[in-house]
Amino acid sequence: MDYLIIGNGVASVGAIEAIRSIDREGPITVISSEPHRVYGRPLISSLLSGKIREKDIFYRPEDFYESNNVTALLGKTVSEIRAGVRQVILESGEVLPFGKLLIATGGVPFIPPIEGRHGPDVYLFTTLDDARKLDSMAEKVTDVVVLGGGLIGLKAAESLHDRGMKVTVVELADRILSAAFDAQAGRIIAKRLADVGIELVLNNTVKEIVRARKRVKSVVLNDGKWLPCSAVVIAIGVVPNKGLAEKAGIKVNRGILTDSSMETDVPGIFAAGDVAEAADMLWGDNRVTPIWPNAYVQGRHAGLAMAGAAKAYAGSIPMNSIEFYGTPTVSMGISNPPAEGFETLARLETDHNFYRKIVLREGRLVGAVLVGRIERSGVLSGLIQRGTNVESIKQELLRDDFGFSDLPAETRQELLSAHA
């Protein structure tokens, strides 16, 4: 069997390692428009801030492709998938046949149609090359506007602030981190960012990027306010990079639709990672879950199925773990539940930047938000994944020192059996 993988992120790594656990001989070809060997995208903010070296961003050894008998076509772009004749066409015109195909093209930055966005001094922040470009401009720029108050935007803002720049974050919503965290967690992190000198502008967005002699000089906000700056970072978020699949007639929705083995509606073609719309464990439907660990798991399930050893993908649980200036945060599962059908319990200690919220549905833990003290978050994620009924101990879950030993004996045995 000839295996072809479009994309070279963590989902591709999961697929390669799964295929090779079953099939040691079948040729695997990986195509990526990026010229780099596989690296950890979540680490680009640490690289930009100077907390790690570039060599630390690569999480598989240099001989990863060779040792797994993989042909890596890096720096090459796919222009078309011809599903009916089992071929992929590169921009160069080269034709590559395949027996099984994995589309792991990830996400692409969402760029709103802002006047003046084309030209120098406007940056993105999703790839290693983006981080390199920002690194090269860091010594020349004093004021920067970051558009987007989600995880990507705030980590970009933190990294640039650490490099000595005056940073202003502009966010359309009425709070930061609105997708991954709840309002209270957002308020705590907003205060921490303001304390170190990062300015936040909420309920607003950039309408125009103003230039003089082609260089960025300021931005104009929706409310008419002008913010002087010499660079703009667009970091609103990413959307599934599904264009190839859509053009090929593969069924898509928000992402590429997949079944329990990560196969699309076209037999022999699979999708995994940020581009895939796959099972969601808590909601019971298919959703795009752009979380790095989930991408690896999805890729692994796709690889197993491609090699003839399909194992049903149970679904993902959204989980984010990130720290802002000494304040660690974790969100997992359903962190912003609708009012009907859910019970929410919370504990807040504003003076200590401590916050803990749990979300229950029919007595089972389905979500949690932790800020400040997160050491026992693994116990909560285990309870969510197992669907354990916690009605009798729900108040205890709000303790920051709640741990495995506090669980009822039968629950401890259930969790131990699951990992035996």
Report the distance separating Cα 5 and Cα 76, nearest Å: 12
Report the distance separating Cα 145 and Cα 229, nearest Å: 6
Which pLDDT value is given to residue 284? 86
Answer whether 393's CB lies under 8 Å from 406's CB. Answer: yes
SS3 for 255?
coil
Report the distance separating Cα 53 and Cα 413, nearest Å: 43
Domains and CATH numbers, the chain: 3-108+239-306 (3.50.50.60), 122-236 (3.50.50.60), 328-418 (3.30.390.30)
Which pLDDT value is given to residue 27? 97
SS3 for 377?
helix
Element at 9 (helix H, strand E): none
pTM here is 0.93
Answer whether 196's CB lies under 8 Å from 325's CB. Answer: yes
28-32 and 70-74 beta bridge pairing: parallel
CB 64: neighbour CB atoms within 10 A?
Answer: 17
Report the distance separating Cα 120 and Cα 2, nearest Å: 43
pLDDT tens series, the chain, 420 aa: 899 999 999 999 999 999 999 999 999 999 999 999 999 999 999 999 999 999 999 999 999 999 999 999 999 999 999 999 999 999 999 999 999 999 999 999 999 999 999 999 999 999 999 999 999 998 889 999 999 999 999 999 999 999 999 999 999 999 999 988 999 999 999 999 999 999 999 999 999 999 999 999 999 999 999 999 999 999 999 999 999 999 999 999 999 999 999 999 999 999 999 999 999 999 889 999 999 999 999 999 999 999 999 999 999 888 999 999 989 999 999 999 998 999 999 999 988 889 999 999 999 999 999 999 898 888 899 899 888 899 989 999 998 888 777 777 777 776 666 555
Answer whether 149's CB lies under 8 Å from 169's CB. Answer: yes
Report the distance separating Cα 281 and Cα 302, nearest Å: 17
